[in-house]
A = this chain, B = another copy of it.
Amino acid sequence: MATDYEVPAIRRAHQILETLATKGTPVSAADLGLATGLPKSTLYLLLESLVQRRWIEKRSDGYLIGIGLYTLGASYLRHDALQEAFRHAAVEFVEREKEVLQLAVLDGDEVVYIAREDAPRPVRLVSELGSRLPAHACALGKALLAQLPEAKLQQLLPARLPAITEHTVTDLAQLLEQLREVRRSGVATEQEEVTAGLCCFAAYVGQTPSGKSIAVSTSIPVARLDAQRRSDIRGEIANVAAQMKKAIVG
Cα–Cα, bound, A8→B12 (Å): 13
Contact of B20 with A75 in the complex, beta carbons under 8 Å: yes
Cα distance, A76 to B76, chains bound together (Å): 15
Contact of A130 among B5, B6, B70 (CB under 8 A): B70
Contact among B59, B69, B77 with A72 in the assembled complex (CB-CB below 8 Å) = B69
Q: Measured between alpha carbons, how far is A131 from B74 in the docked complex, in Å?
A: 8
A11 to chain B minimum Cβ distance, whole angstroms, is 7
Q: Mark A75-95, 1 if CB is under 8 A from B, else 0.
A: 111110001000100000000
Given A9-B7, A48-B5: A64 and B210 within 8 A (CB)? yes
- A67 to B105 Cα, complex, angstroms: 9
- Known: A7-B49, A66-B76. Contact between A71 and B128, CB under 8 A? no
Interface presence of A10 (CB below 8 A): yes
| Interface stretch (choices A50-58, A138-146, A164-172, A196-204) | A50-58
Q: Say whether A7 contacts B77, CB under 8 Å.
A: no
Greatest chain B CB density within 10 A among A10, A79, A112 is at A10
A107 to B70, alpha carbons, bound, how many Å?
A: 12
Cβ contacts under 8 Å, A107 to chain B: 54, 67-68
- Knowing A11-B49, A210-B26, the reply to whether A112 touches B76 (Cβ < 8 A) is no
28 pairs from A and B in contact (CB 8 Å cutoff): A5-B48, A7-B9, A8-B9, A9-B9, A10-B13, A10-B55, A13-B13, A18-B72, A21-B71, A21-B75, A24-B79, A57-B210, A59-B210, A64-B79, A65-B75, A67-B107, A67-B212, A69-B69, A69-B72, A69-B73, A69-B76, A70-B130, A71-B112, A71-B131, A71-B132, A73-B130, A74-B130, A77-B130
Please provide the 10 A-B residue pairs with the shortest distance between their CB atoms, ordered closest to farther: A74-B130, A73-B73, A9-B9, A21-B75, A70-B76, A7-B49, A70-B73, A69-B73, A65-B75, A10-B49
